[in-house]
């Protein structure tokens, strides 16, 4: 999980495997962003999921959002070496009417050939 | 696609030094942000702005000033740099404020304070 006091997580898998990264948050929210950061570059949005979607797909990516458990996940199917990156979830306190994103600590994903 | 550029890409200064980090976005976005990224803390918001002349305080503003001179340009100022400000700094922009709006990030500036 990416939130709270957890340290930056690291996952190492073989090419072709499936992987899931989890994110839990502490505030009421209706939208979760998932960003990917490649080495030496800034983060880039890969999926934005809303509470009325529960699941959203983009190519080999699949995001879920469960507002009752305040958690979101990002899955990659048949991971490839180019999926190696740091993945962040980000959200904001919808109840506080602020769009200020708070980012999780991130998951370092390494995909080996 | 939104374009956000930052300069310099790398900067080394000494304790007490004066540093200005620059950011420019070319897609007419209203909102601009400055973040710092440190291992174990993820991305933390320093300051943000919703237009020229506007400045809002973020979550970790101490020791930083910022100025938005135009819609395109947002600067981060460290007037008395300290080693604790050694970090990777990112600028970002978004068309509007709120959870539904994607933030577009620049490539980052690595700052080292000796």
pLDDT single digits (tens) B17-66: 999 999 999 988 999 999 999 987 789 999 999 999 999 999 999 999 99
Domain that holds residue A58: 9-112
CA distance A113 to chain B (A): 27
User: Which residues 13-72 in chain B show a CB within 8 A of chain A?
Assistant: 39-45, 48, 58-59
Greater pLDDT, A91 or B5 = B5
A108 touching B (Cβ < 8 Å): no
Q: Contact, B89 vs B76, CB < 8 A?
A: yes
From B43, B98, B106, residue closest to A99, measured CB to CB: B98
CATH number of B4-113: 2.60.40.10
Chain A residues within 8 A of B99 when measuring between CB atoms: 29-31, 33, 91-92, 94, 99, 101
CB contact under 8 A, A103 and B48: no
Q: Report chain A's C-alpha Rg in angstroms.
A: 14
Question: Which CATH number goes with the domain that contains A40?
Answer: 2.60.40.10
What pLDDT score does B2 carry? 57
* Positions of E strands within B1-114: 4-7, 10-13, 19-25, 31-38, 42-49, 56-57, 65-68, 73-78, 87-94, 104-105, 109-113
> Does some domain include residue A3?
no
Q: Which residues in chain A land under pLDDT 50?
A: 1-2, 4-7
Closest by Cα among B92, B83, B107 to B17: B83
User: What domain count does chain A have?
Assistant: 1
CB contact under 8 A, B107 and A91: no
CA distance A30 to chain B (A): 8
Tell me how far apart the alpha carbons of residues A112 and A59 are, in angstroms, rounded to a whole number. Answer: 20
> Does some domain include residue A2?
no
Q: Where are the domains of chain B?
A: 4-113
Q: Tokens 């080495």 map to which residue?
A: A39
What pLDDT score does B98 carry? 72
What pLDDT score does A96 carry? 57
> Does some domain include residue A4?
no
CB contact under 8 A, B40 and A8: yes
What pLDDT score does B36 carry? 97
From A31, A43, A106, residue closest to B105, measured CB to CB: A43
From B97, B99, B106, residue closest to A94, measured CB to CB: B99
Chain B residues within 8 A of A106 when measuring between CB atoms: 42
| Proportion of chain B above pLDDT 90, given as a percent | 84
What pLDDT score does B97 carry? 74
B108 touching A (Cβ < 8 Å): yes
What pLDDT score does B15 carry? 97
């Amino acid at each position: 999980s990416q939130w709270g006091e957890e340290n930056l997580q690291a996952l190492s898998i073989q090419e072709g495997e499936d992987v899931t990264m989890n994110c839990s948050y502490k505030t009421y929210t209706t939208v979760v962003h998932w960003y990917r950061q490649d080495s030496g570059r800034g983060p880039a949005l890969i999926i934005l999921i809303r509470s009325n979607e529960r699941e959203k797909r983009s190519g080999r990516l699949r995001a879920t959002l469960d507002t009752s458990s305040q958690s979101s996940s990002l899955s990659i199917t048949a991971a490839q070496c180019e999926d190696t990156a740091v993945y962040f979830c980000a959200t904001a306190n919808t109840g506080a009417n602020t769009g200020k994103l708070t980012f999780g600590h991130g998951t370092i994903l390494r995909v080996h050939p | 696609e939104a374009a956000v550029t930052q300069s310099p890409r790398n900067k080394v200064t000494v304790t007490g030094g004066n540093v200005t980090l620059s950011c420019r976005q070319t897609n007419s976005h209203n909102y601009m942000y400055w973040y710092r990224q440190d291992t174990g803390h993820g991305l933390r918001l320093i300051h943000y702005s919703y237009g020229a002349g506007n400045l809002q305080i973020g979550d970790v503003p101490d020791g930083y000033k910022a100025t938005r001179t135009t819609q395109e340009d947002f600067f981060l100022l460290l007037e008395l740099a300290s080693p604790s400000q050694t970090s990777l700094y990112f600028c970002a922009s978004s068309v509007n404020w709120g959870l539904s709006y994607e933030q577009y990030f620049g490539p980052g500036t690595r700052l080292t304070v000796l």
